Amino acid sequence: MVRWGGRDADGDVGAPDVGDPDVGALDIGAPEVGDAILKGSSLGRFSFRVPGFTLPSSANPMHQLVIIALGSNLGDRLARLQEAITALRNVAVPGTWRQSSVYQTEPVACPDDSPDFYNAVVSFQFDCSATQLHAHTIAIEQALGRERSGINAPRTIDLDLLVFGNECIDTPDLQIPHPRLHLRRFVLEPMAEIHPEWRLPTQQVAIATLLQQLDPLEPALQRVVADW
């Protein structure tokens, strides 16, 4: 997210290799195959096309568990998180969605006087590639007004792909798992809420244990809302 504070200074990503997804307003009722619709928000209705993506119908052993961190510290933070999960749910395998509470957290590695973040974590199963899902998250960020005006600058929405099954990915555009995920309370605490036993492929212990190993003197997260 940005928020490794935003992302860490060296952790933000640019445009995916597949190119920016098309983002445009729709006036039709039903989505085309390959589109996820964000609706019922102040944005109106937007289509986020993921190259090669078709809507999944049910869970199967080939689907990957994905975990995504969400953050916002600009504008109506809760509304932006809600709009982002509306778009993400449209590409999730039905019946696999989980989401944490929303927490208010202090900025990490952000410019002075940056507002506090609202953070949450969601998970679901997905049946296309990490690159395609990353392209989808970039499209959502663009539609929700994300501007990359500086390193870890305040943003309307930040979506970080934290986990893609047991894959380890290290490219200029995408790092999974993020190399400092295991050190960030604002990610580990909501993640432990929905997947306490999950073990990152780069770690030897579960998420709940990683959370327990953090410095107990760190400021506690403030839960804002559990059911959103």
Mean pLDDT in runs of 10 for the chain (228 residues)?
34 32 30 40 45 51 89 93 96 96 83 83 95 94 81 82 95 90 94 96 95 90 94
- The reported pLDDT for the residue numbered 110 is 66
Which residues partner with 120 through β-bridges?
A: 70
- The reported pLDDT for the residue numbered 80 is 95
Q: Where are the alpha helices (DSSP H) in the chain?
A: 77-89, 130-143, 185-194, 207-212
Question: 59-83: string of b/e by CB count within 10 Å (b at 16+)?
Answer: eeeebbbbbbbbbbbbeebebbbbb
Which two three-digit tokens encode residue 6?
């935003």
Set 7, 49, 80, 155: catalytic member: 155
Q: Which domains does the chain have, with CATH numbers?
A: 23-225 (3.30.70.560)
Alpha-carbon torsion (131, 202, 13, 192), positive or negative: positive
Set 3, 7, 160, 185: catalytic member: 160
Q: Is 209 helix (H, G, I), strand (E, B) or coil?
A: helix
- The reported pLDDT for the residue numbered 39 is 42
Which two three-digit tokens encode residue 52?
């090669």
Is 146 catalytic? The answer is yes
- The reported pLDDT for the residue numbered 152 is 65
Instruction: Report the C-alpha gap between 97 and 65 in whole angstroms.
Output: 10
- The reported pLDDT for the residue numbered 155 is 82
- The reported pLDDT for the residue numbered 54 is 52
State in Å, rounded, how far the first CA of the chain is from the last one. 20
Q: Where are the alpha helices (DSSP H) in 129-180?
A: 130-143
Alpha carbon 179 to its chain's center: 16
Alpha-carbon torsion (75, 81, 82, 83), positive or negative: positive
Cβ proximity of 91 and 50 under 8 Å: yes
Is 155 catalytic? The answer is yes
Set 8, 12, 35, 158: catalytic member: 158
Instruction: Report the C-alpha gap between 11 and 59 in whole angstroms.
Output: 32
Query: pTM (2 decimals)?
Result: 0.76
- The reported pLDDT for the residue numbered 38 is 44
Task: Name the pairing type of β-strands 117-126 and 169-170.
Answer: unpaired
Set 146, 148, 185, 227: catalytic member: 146
